[in-house]
A and B are shown apart, each in its own frame.
Chain A
Amino acid sequence: MSNTKYILGHFEDPDDMMHGIDRLQENNITIYDVFTPMPIHGIEDKLGYKRSRLPIAAFCFGLTGTCTAFSMIYYMLVYDWPMNIGGKPSFAMPDFVPIMFELTVLFASFGMIITYFFKNHLFPGRAPRVMDFRATDDRFVIAIDARTNPYHDKIDDLLKEAGAVEVLHNDRKYVSYE
Chain B
Amino acid sequence: MGTHNHTHNFSQQFEFTGKPKTWSLIAIVIGIVAIAYGFLIDTSETHAERTFANLLLMGYYFTCVCAAGTFFLAVQYVAQAGWSASILRIPQAFARVLPIAAVILVLICAAGLFTHHEIEEEGVKVSAPLLYKHWATHGLADPASEHYDEVIAGKASFLNVPFFLSRMVIFLGLYSIFAMLFTRFSYNEDLEGGMNNYQKSFKYACIFLVIFGFTTPIWSFDTVMSLEAHWFSTMFGWYNFAAMWVSGLSAIALTLILLRKAGYFTWTNDSHLHDLGKFMFAFSIFWTYVWFAQFLLIYYANMSEETVYFYERWEPEFKPWFWLNIVINFLSPVLILMSRDNKRKENLMMFVAILLLCGHWLDYYMMIMPGTVSKHRTFGITEIGIAIGFAGTFAFFMLNALSKRPLVPKNHPFLEESLHHHI
Residues of B within 8 A of A94 (CB): 292, 295-296, 299-300
User: How many of chain A's residues touch chain B, expressed as a range?
Assistant: 10 to 19
Q: How far is the CB of A98 from chain B (nearest CB, A)?
A: 7
Say yes or no: B340 contacts A55, CB within 8 Å.
yes
Say yes or no: A98 contacts B422, CB within 8 Å.
no
- Contact string, A83-101, partner B, CB cutoff 8 A, digits 1/0? 0001110000011011000
Q: Counting CB contacts under 8 A, is A39 at the interface?
A: no
Residues of B within 8 A of A51 (CB): 340
In the docked arrangement, what's the CA distance between A51 and B296, Å? 39
In the docked arrangement, what's the CA distance between A87 and B301, Å? 11
Residues of A within 8 A of B302 (CB): 86-88
Say yes or no: B422 contacts A41, CB within 8 Å.
yes
Q: How far is the CB of A171 from chain B (nearest CB, A)?
A: 39
Say yes or no: B422 contacts A86, CB within 8 Å.
no
Closest B residue to A98 by beta carbon equals B296
Say yes or no: A86 contacts B296, CB within 8 Å.
no
Among A41, A55, A59, A86, the residue within 8 A (CB) of B300 is A86
In the docked arrangement, what's the CA distance between A168 and B422, Å? 34
- Contact string, B288-300, partner A, CB cutoff 8 A, digits 1/0? 0000100110011
Q: How far is the CB of A4 from chain B (nearest CB, A)?
A: 37
Tell which of A42, A94, A97 has the most Cβ of chain B within 10 Å.
A94
Residues of A within 8 A of B292 (CB): 94, 97
Say yes or no: B300 contacts A42, CB within 8 Å.
no
Residues of B within 8 A of A86 (CB): 300, 302
Among A42, A55, A88, the residue within 8 A (CB) of B422 is A42
Say yes or no: A97 contacts B296, CB within 8 Å.
yes
In the docked arrangement, what's the CA distance between A98 and B300, Å? 13
Say yes or no: B422 contacts A95, CB within 8 Å.
no
Query: Which residues of A does B touch, CB under 8 Å?
Result: 41-42, 51, 55, 59, 86-88, 94-95, 97-98
New A-B contacts (15) at CB < 8 Å, excluding given A41-B422, A42-B422, A97-B292: A51-B340, A55-B340, A59-B338, A86-B300, A86-B302, A87-B302, A88-B302, A94-B292, A94-B296, A94-B299, A94-B300, A95-B296, A95-B300, A97-B296, A98-B296
